[in-house]
Chain A
Amino acid sequence: MALLLIVFLPILMAWLPRTTERLGRNFSLVITLLAPLIAVAIALSYLPAVLRGEIHEVSFPWVPSLGLNFEFRVDPLSLMFALLILCIGILVVWYGRFYLSKKDSIGKLYSLLLMFMTAMLGIVLSNNVLLLFVFWELTSITSFLLIGYWQHNSDARKGARMALAVTGGGGLALLAGLIMLAHMAGSYTLTDIFAAHEAIIAHSLYPVMLILVLIGAFTKSAQFPFHFWLPHAMAAPTPVSAYLHSATMVKAGIFLLARLHPAIAGTDMWVLVVTSIGLITMTFAAVMAMFKHDLKGLLAYSTVSHLGLITMLFGISTELAVLAGIFHILNHAAFKASLFMAAGIVDHETGTRDLRVLRGMYKYMPLTAVLSVLAAAAMAGVPFFNGFLSKEMMLTAVLDIPAFGAFAWIVPVVASIAALFSVYYSTRFAHNTFFAGEAKKTPTFPPHAPSKLMVAPIMLMVTLCVGVGLFAQPLVGAYINAAGTTVLGYAQEPYSIYIWHGFNLPLLMSAIALIGGVALYTRKEQLLNWYKKRKPFNELYMFEGGVTQFMGWTTRFTNGLENGSLQRYIAFIVALMVLMLLQALMQLSSLTGSVSLTPVDTVAAVAIVVLIVAAFGTVAIHHHRFGALLILSVVGLMVSILFARFSAPDLAMTQLSVEVVTIVLLMLALYFLPQDTPNESSKRRVWRDVSIAGFAGIAVGAVAYAILTRPVQPISDYFLANSKPEGGGYNVVNVILVDFRGFDTFGEIVVLAIAGIGIATLLRNLYLPLPLTDNQGRAWDKVPHPPLLSMMARMLLPLALMVSAYIFLRGHNAPGGGFIAGLITSIALILQYVASGVSYVRERFQFNYPNWLAIGVLIAGLTGIGSWYFDHPFLTSTFEYLTWPVVGTFEVSSALPFDLGVFLTVVATTLLILAYIGKLTTTARVDD
């Protein structure tokens, strides 16, 4: 439980600085420091146990079905990182209080830093790779916000976006890699993954997994070729750079290498890839750092270089290399954070970070200068500083790497050169800024000395650098050995860190680097002049340019595909459907299945022939819309005959009534549309469409035939058996609709209602020109409503309503029900509109269709909710038999009110649609 507090305390308190901002900056500082201080105390309480070699694990379920759980572990490696994150975090928060100007929101910075802290702590303490990934992404997001802290600054926004794109993209690769890793190990828990080392490296997909995980680690740790985002992330405020880009986030990738080392290292591939990338990064970034004029830019590239060094050491993976790597993580955090803070102070006091302007600052800020020189000495690897010790270990570790075979000599040579460059830029940082003659005019001049409180964190860390440099073994020796065991996965030979190892090759290499670096610095003018002549090169513009170009491609691709023609989209969709159907059909050995064919029925056969002729007829004369519509109605009629013939009386009745409504609807629509379709399709277009439609038809028909001739196992036996005993009805189709699958039906009437409302909305304020004549120029008849028709319709209305009531009531036991009765009622009412006109109906029926629609859905819904009252699930139905005098015994079912809801919805929707469109033919408007 205490472990959870370490991780979550910062984020739980993250809202405090932001909300209490007006209480002053000192209050913000105190309230922000609370969480990390408590967390440090808890973390330190684990230290004795960890040094004894105990590993503490906790686990709480989160999404167990995915293997994602709150699993945390404390071991030497995770505790080291946790303490690093918390302690540097505390110093950075302290420093930020003095760094940030009055106009910047300190609460925002602190809140974000606290959130970021939780993300980092989560990464290092996770014992579950999925959980680790969640925190990993959280660092990407919070660091995005932190880099873009000055959101008014375009460089900050671009830098933040680039960092997010690169680390986020790497995160996706990492996710894939971690999932593969977990599948190889059979568990997402790290403890199990460590145990599965042999199985993992023997797995056939190991190389793929390794590359994916490494992409994740390398993007985060800014390794070549993903290094370019880090220098641009320097647009962040200096406290953020000091924290994220020296001590923590960029170390997350390194941490991942160390964390997974026992599980996925130990192969030649690991050694070759990781060592090479580390070496390249280290050297390349050191060269880049040499030519940076921006203090923070210099530090950024030197960070990349040192991260490369650590990566290389974990790549070599010998005992010494791993220990050196761990040791260097600590050392680097200490001196690089100090240097960043020093750079921030210089920037703060002088208003510039440009090394071409900065000179002789020693005069104005002697304390900062001394501390910077010391920290730079640690970075350069001068003896008696901590950086020297880890560099010596590194130079020893690179001497003989068997995996590189005959090329093993390259590594120490290149490493020495990189060390030389490192000495050069360290010297430049310290000498150029604080000495090198008289101070030039800086934006803020004369600079004043920074507040002692602001320098305090630097002092603390430089003390550590010197202290560890002198007394490494007693101070950190035991701990580094313990962490080494965790990373290696086995107990190694105990190693003691000494300053003096006698005269040996590493010492020589170190000396060459030191002397060479300083010598190079004395010739720096020539070096910089040479660099100036080169073509300038900015990754940010390249990256932005690349993004813009990529957007251009995608836009062109999308525009090429989607040219706004709906016709074209339908063609694409249908063509794709045909391809998929064909692919499915290809797998059949024979189209005809094992089931014998049903004998041909004469009525059905005749209907089918008529149907086919009518369907083709519709297409053939579709340019004459009215005629085509009439022929289309024949198709619908034949379909209902087929339903009737194939034992589906309910369907036949539904189809028949829908057919009537549809044709009336289409005729109404035709009144407002041109009566003829122009012949505008080219020959080629027609043939293209004929072939697409033809292929689609044949494919669908073939699939239908293939299915129909194969045996079926219906799931309907349950419905047939339980229709009467459970649902209380003989008509199984209706019982399914109102009872077994009542919830589906409820959803369907809601869809109906939505369609109705949508139509009503579309029709609002719609003004279509009313044609005065038909398409041949003849005026409309003076008598729009023939008396014979209207009289007949009026006489039919009560009859139709009675039939509809009958069909509704019998629906549970014989073909009928709410849907069909609703449609019949609609037709009867529509007939009144057709025969007698809108105004006639309006005078007599005052129905507000949208209201009735809502009432219908409500009745159905309330019936369903009613069953909750009897402690049954939604829409459970029940039935009872009543005996009344005269009427006799009859059944009362709770499904009846539900069916009434269906009935009302159908009637209201149908009439809403037709009456509203019908209204358009008159001068009365929908919105009236």
Chain B
Amino acid sequence: MEILIAIVIAVLTGTGLYLMLRSRTFPVVMGLTLLTYAVNLFLFAMGRIQYNAPPVINMSDTYSDPLPQALVLTAIVIGFAMTAFVVVLALRARADLGNDHVDGKDSVEDVKEANR
């Protein structure tokens, strides 16, 4: 199972980063979301993997590590707030700059503009 988990983290990191390297805001936001999954899974996995062992007293015989779970729980919620912040930033940039390029300049349009 560990191999699969590592592969999942690798795939999420790789796809997330690839999208984050794109030049338009929306793919970057999607990439950020994927990377958030990767980070959360990574942090969670640091507590190791156990089946049927929720960290609720008397619910099972063994308990998985509750600490990474508590950390990841808040991380998920804050991750949402941060994603929302980036999204709104992207909207603001779109409104103020007139395009959705991360650098604030529409390369295709700008080149055309310059040649005109």
Contacts and interface: CB of A to CB of B under 8 A. Distances in A.
Interface of A: 564-567, 570-571, 574, 597-601, 604-605, 608, 611-612, 615-616, 618-619, 622, 625, 628-629, 632, 635-636, 639, 642-643, 645-651, 654-655, 658, 661-662, 665-666, 669-670, 672-674, 677-678, 680-681, 689-690, 692-694, 696-698, 700-702, 704-705, 707-709, 712, 714-716, 719-720, 723-724, 730-733, 736-737, 741, 744-745, 748, 751-752, 755-756, 758-759, 762-763, 766-768, 813-815, 819, 823, 906, 909-910, 913, 917, 920
Given A647-B50, A680-B107, A756 B77 contact: no
Given A601-B1, A618-B15, A733-B70, A648 B44 contact: yes
B4 A604 contact: yes
Contacts of B66: 716, 719-720, 732-733, 736
Contacts of B53: 647
Contacts of B63: 720, 732
Chain B binding surface SS class: helix
A608 B42 CA distance: 14
Contact of A622 (B30, B38, B49, B83): B30
Residue in B19, B38, B91 whose Cβ sees the most chain A Cβ within 10 Å = B91
B115 interface: no
Contacts of B46: 707, 712
B56 to A, nearest CB: 5
Contacts of A597: 1-3
Contact of A615 (B34, B40, B80, B88): B34
Interface in B8-58: 8-27, 29-30, 33-34, 37-38, 40-42, 44-58
B21 A692 contact: yes
9 contacts: A567-B103, A612-B8, A612-B11, A616-B15, A632-B34, A697-B15, A705-B2, A723-B57, A910-B80
A629 B30 contact: yes
User: Top 7 closest A-B pairs, CB basis?
Assistant: A697-B14, A701-B10, A705-B6, A693-B18, A755-B81, A732-B66, A693-B17
A681 B16 CA distance: 17
Interface in B76-112: 76-85, 87-92, 94-95, 100, 102-103, 107-108
Contacts, number: 312
A737 B66 CA distance: 10
Given A566-B103, A707-B46, A767-B95, A604 B1 contact: yes
B91 A669 contact: yes
Given A714-B67, A819-B73, A751 B21 contact: no
Given A608-B4, A665-B84, A758-B85, 11 more contacts: A566-B103, A604-B1, A651-B73, A665-B80, A666-B30, A669-B26, A692-B21, A752-B81, A819-B74, A913-B88, A920-B91
A650 B42 CA distance: 17
Given A597-B2, A615-B34, A759-B88, A646 B19 contact: no
Contact of A906 (B18, B33, B77): B77
B31 to A, nearest CB: 8
Contacts of B30: 618, 622, 628-629, 632, 666
A649 B51 CA distance: 11
Contacts of B57: 720, 723-724, 730-732
B114 interface: no
Contact of B6 (A622, A648, A650, A701): A701
Contact of A708 (B2, B20, B33, B87): B2
Given A645-B51, A673-B26, A745-B74, A701 B19 contact: no
A598 B27 contact: no
A658 B80 contact: yes
B97 to A, nearest CB: 12
Given A571-B21, A612-B11, A680-B107, A823 B70 contact: no
A898 B52 CA distance: 29
B54 A815 contact: yes
Given A672-B94, A708-B6, A762-B89, A615 B1 contact: no
A647 B64 CA distance: 7
Contact of A700 (B33, B42, B59, B87): B42
A615 B5 contact: no
A708 B49 contact: yes
A73 B63 CA distance: 63
Contacts of A759: 84-85, 88
A677 B26 contact: yes
Given A646-B51, A730-B57, A762-B89, A574 B69 contact: no
Given A646-B64, A719-B66, A622 B58 contact: no
A655 B74 contact: no
A564 B103 contact: yes
A566 to B, nearest CB: 5
Contacts of A819: 73-74, 77
Given A564-B103, A648-B69, A700-B9, A615 B74 contact: no
